[in-house]
Each structure stands twice: as structure tokens, then as C-alpha cells.
């Protein structure tokens, strides 16, 4: 009788354990339920930690290098991309185009004798030529479009010669210079207004290395 009661008790305990195990696995995948006779942690497995979130790859933004600054090969203050007269000697005063123009060089109207107030400017040219003994120049005479072609040809040529003679008389070797008149064939401004015509009436020094 006692043996039968002990067997029944064992059966009840086992049944109770099984019920507990099954109730614990109601919401747990069957793949995690290993042994109904073990405790709940073994039965259903310990709670798994959530998978780590992938770490976003940190990418450093690489900025392109800044564009190189335009060069000024002859050092005249006008960059090469805007310089219409490259190769001007050191110390030469150039215009906005990078050309060695004798601005405000004064002659009498329709004449080619140089006014005395222009001598200081020509003396500066002498200094530049002396400081750059390897430089040779073409002295170029230019006019505006008023007047006849014959007059402008003669005027531009004679004004170029007048400048060359002045430089030679102040120490610049004559074999370092030539003179040429271009009349109105190479304007740098419009001849339609007085200001443009004044810019076109000029003597320009073009280096010939």
C-alpha cells in the first residue's frame, strides 16, 4: 500500500514538473525547450541578448585641394591668365593688360617731339633697362583712328623713334632697341569716344628677349 502511494506521489510530482515546464514554453519557441524535467532556465533557455547594432562606418569627408592660384611668371602684378604682354622686365610699370605702356606720354598735337613733363617717366624706363641688361625692346608707336592712314603711319613711327632716341641719349645701348609705328591697327580701347582714343594714342615697349 505504501509502495503504491509512493509511486503515485512520484507520478504526481513528475506530472507537476511537466505541467510547469510546458506552461513556461507556451510563448517560447520549441527549439529552446530542451528538457521538461529541468528547471525553467534550462527548459526554455536563458534570455538572449539582442544582436548588436551594426556600427556605422565613419567615413571622413575628403575635400578636394583648392585650385592653384594663377601664376604671375614675370612678376608684374598681372597673372598669366590675364597678361597680354608676358615677359616684361622687373620694375616695369604695366597697365591692366600687363603691357609696358608709357601712359600719359605727352607730345604736341600731331607732332612727335616729347614734352618736357614726360622726361621723368622716360628716366624711369632708363633705370629699368639698366637694371635688366639682357632685355631688348621694340618701341612701338600707336595712334587713334582719326586722321589719314598716311598721317597716322608717319606719326606713330616718328613718336617711336623719338622715344628710342631719348633712351639712347640717356645710356641705353642703341643695339638693344628698335622702333616701329603701328598707326591705329592695334587699338586697346574703342575709338568711338575720347577716353578710348586717348588710350589708343600711346607708346608701348615690347620686350624682345
- Whether pLDDT at 1 is above 80: no
C-alpha torsion angle, residues 111, 113, 114, 117 (rounded to 10): -90
Please write the tens of the pLDDT for every residue from 87-109.
999 999 999 999 999 988 988 77
- Whether pLDDT at 14 is above 50: no
Mean pLDDT lowest for which of 26-30, 88-92, 185-189, 193-197?
26-30
Please provide the average confidence, as pLDDT, over all residues in the chain: 81
In this prediction, residue 107 carries a pLDDT of 84
Question: CA 133 to CA 127: how far, in whole Å?
Answer: 10
In this prediction, residue 47 carries a pLDDT of 53
Question: CA 167 to CA 190: how far, in whole Å?
Answer: 30
Please write the tens of the pLDDT for every residue from 165-180.
999 999 999 999 999 9
Over residues 22-38, the mean pLDDT reads: 47
Phi, psi at residue 75, to the nearest 5°?
A: 65, 30
In this prediction, residue 201 carries a pLDDT of 93
Please write the tens of the pLDDT for every residue from 46-84.
556 666 666 666 667 788 888 888 899 999 999 999 999
3-class SS at 137?
A: strand
The domain limits of the chain are: 6-44, 100-208
Please write the tens of the pLDDT for every residue from 143-170.
999 999 999 999 999 999 999 999 999 9
CATH class of 100-208: alpha beta
Amino acid at each position: 500500500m505504501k509502495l503504491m502511494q509512493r509511486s503515485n506521489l512520484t507520478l504526481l510530482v513528475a506530472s507537476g514538473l511537466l505541467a510547469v515546464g510546458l506552461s513556461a514554453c507556451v510563448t517560447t519557441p520549441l527549439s529552446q525547450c530542451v528538457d521538461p524535467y529541468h528547471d525553467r532556465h534550462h527548459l526554455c533557455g536563458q534570455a538572449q541578448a539582442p544582436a548588436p547594432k551594426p556600427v556605422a562606418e565613419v567615413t571622413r569627408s575628403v575635400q578636394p585641394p583648392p585650385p592653384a592660384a594663377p601664376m604671375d611668371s614675370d612678376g608684374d602684378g598681372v597673372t598669366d591668365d590675364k597678361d597680354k604682354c608676358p615677359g616684361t622686365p622687373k620694375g616695369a610699370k604695366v597697365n591692366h593688360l600687363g603691357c609696358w605702356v608709357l601712359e600719359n606720354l605727352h607730345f604736341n598735337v600731331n607732332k612727335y617731339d616729347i614734352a618736357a613733363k614726360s622726361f621723368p617717366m622716360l628716366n624711369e624706363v632708363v633705370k629699368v633697362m639698366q637694371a635688366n641688361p639682357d632685355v631688348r625692346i621694340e618701341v612701338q608707336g600707336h595712334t587713334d583712328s582719326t586722321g589719314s592712314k598716311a598721317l597716322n603711319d608717319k606719326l606713330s613711327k616718328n613718336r617711336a623713334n623719338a622715344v628710342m632716341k631719348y633712351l639712347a641719349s640717356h645710356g641705353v645701348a642703341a643695339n638693344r632697341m628698335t622702333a616701329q609705328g603701328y598707326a591705329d591697327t592695334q587699338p586697346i580701347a574703342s575709338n568711338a569716344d575720347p577716353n578710348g582714343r586717348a588710350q589708343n594714342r600711346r607708346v608701348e615697349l615690347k620686350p624682345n628677349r
